[in-house]
Amino acid sequence: MHAGRVAPGAAPDRGAEEGEGVKDPAAPAVGEDVVRRVPLEMIFAIMASKLIPEKAVGQVTPGPVFTTATFIGYVLGGVPGAAVATVGIFLPAFFFVAVSGPLIPRIRRSEIAGAFLDGINATSMALMAVVTFDLGQDALADFTTIGIGIVSAILLFRLRVNSAWLVLGGAMAGMILRSRV
């Protein structure tokens, strides 16, 4: 074997100078090494500085997990990546709802299955209450946000204002009140 050449199946020693031997033949080939590094490089492409704006967006939109998936798809593959990630995260849920929807009345007839579904409903409500409490601790950070929260609660529960209008009104009130400070 000539100096500087690599044995078949061996990767060149990265620390070796030109003309110095080869890496251990049992070591992975260059192609394998690249294949192993690609997923880590893709993961490291999403640095914390890129995820901070996503976390902010996720906090103000419904379904932070779904928003995160779309954002990561965008970071890794641009608009097509975001589209694929969004379809990929929503499609299974739509599929299972479509398949199971007609079966629910039949399942409800069973005493055990009905109790199981009631337990799932209670668990879902408890989970939503805990998440609401947790987000409320983060969102109600000062007098401005507490005031907006109280007014929104009154409008929602007393006057039955649509929540979309509350989100829009809260955002506008926050911007107006923050600009005065």
Closest CA to 14 of 26, 27, 2, 128: 27
Closest CA to 41 of 75, 88, 9: 75
Taking each helix axis as running N to C, give the angle between helix 111-139 and helix 48-60, from 0 to 180 degrees, rounded to the nearest 10. Answer: 110
Write down the pLDDT at residue 49. Answer: 52
Domains of the chain: which residue ranges?
Answer: 1-45, 140-181
Cβ–Cβ contacts within 10 Å for residue 71, how many? 23
The residue-averaged pLDDT of 125-132 equals 89
Q: 50 or 164, which is more confident?
A: 164
Taking each helix axis as running N to C, give the angle between helix 111-139 and helix 143-157, from 0 to 180 degrees, rounded to the nearest 10. Answer: 140
Q: What is the reported pTM?
A: 0.43
The residue-averaged pLDDT of 43-54 equals 54
With residue 114 as reference, give the H or E element that holds it.
helix 111-139
pLDDT of residue 13 exceeding 60, the answer is no
pLDDT of residue 36 exceeding 70, the answer is no
Q: Which of 23-37, 40-54, 63-77, 94-108 has the lowest mean pLDDT?
A: 23-37
Write down the pLDDT at residue 67. Answer: 78
pLDDT of residue 103 exceeding 70, the answer is yes
